[in-house]
Amino acid sequence: MIKILFVCLGNICRSTMAEAVMRHLINEQGLSARIVVDSAGTGNWHVGEAPHSGTRKRLAREGISTEGIFARQITKEDITEFDYIIGMDSDNLKNIRPYCKPEDMNKACLLADFVENNRWTDVPDPWYSGDFDETYRLVREGCEQLLARLQLS
């Protein structure tokens, strides 16, 4: 079983979007018995909240559900439990690193690290930009390519 954790700042916009998109892709390909997905935030401001309304609206346009997704904060146990700890931007990655033991440092990476011919590094935070379309485009591209790589291994 492969376990993936998407991480952003508050766990209501980008990481919840990535969790929902990846779950959708996994279900479409019949891989839910092989891959588990979750999300968390480095901050605790939104713990227990549903994804941001902009995230929910953008995903609804694609027929992607956010049912059962609620914000939570990353824990040290997550680093041990998950195989991939995927930050949405370099600040998230920097905030994840203190949770990692030396042997777990290679688990933490950026979503952009999985994108071939990468033209971007960070997924911009729509909490500040308001651009949920751009966030969706980058998250979708990253998740599709991540899933393709996982199926090759």
Is the pLDDT confidence value at 117 over 60? yes
The average pLDDT across 125-151 equals 94
The average pLDDT across 94-113 equals 91
Confidence band for 153, pLDDT divided at 50, 70 and 90: low
The letter for the amino acid at 82 is F
Annotated catalytic, 8? yes
| CB-based contact 127:52 (threshold 8 Å) | yes
Where exactly are the structural domains of the chain? 2-152
- The catalytically annotated residue of 23, 89, 125, 140 is 125
Task: Express each pLDDT in 47-84 by its tens digit.
Answer: 999 999 999 999 999 999 999 999 999 999 999 999 99
The average pLDDT across 7-16 equals 97
Is the pLDDT confidence value at 152 over 70? no
Annotated catalytic, 125? yes
Q: Is pTM, for the whole model, over 0.85?
A: yes
Tell me which residue has tokens 């027929």: 63
Annotated catalytic, 14? yes
Is the pLDDT confidence value at 5 over 80? yes
The average pLDDT across 103-121 equals 89
The average pLDDT across 88-116 equals 92
H, E, C per residue of 19-58: HHHHHHHHHHCCCCCCEEEEEEECCCCCCCCCCCHHHHHH
DSSP state of 100: -
- The catalytically annotated residue of 13, 14, 72, 89 is 14
Please tell me the distance from the alpha carbon of residue 80 to that of residue 56, in angstroms, as a whole number. 30
Beta strands, E only, the chain:
2-8, 35-41, 84-87, 108-110
Q: 2-152 adopts what CATH topology?
A: Rossmann fold (3.40.50)
Closest CA to 75 of 104, 55, 52: 104
Closest CA to 86 of 29, 33, 24, 150: 150
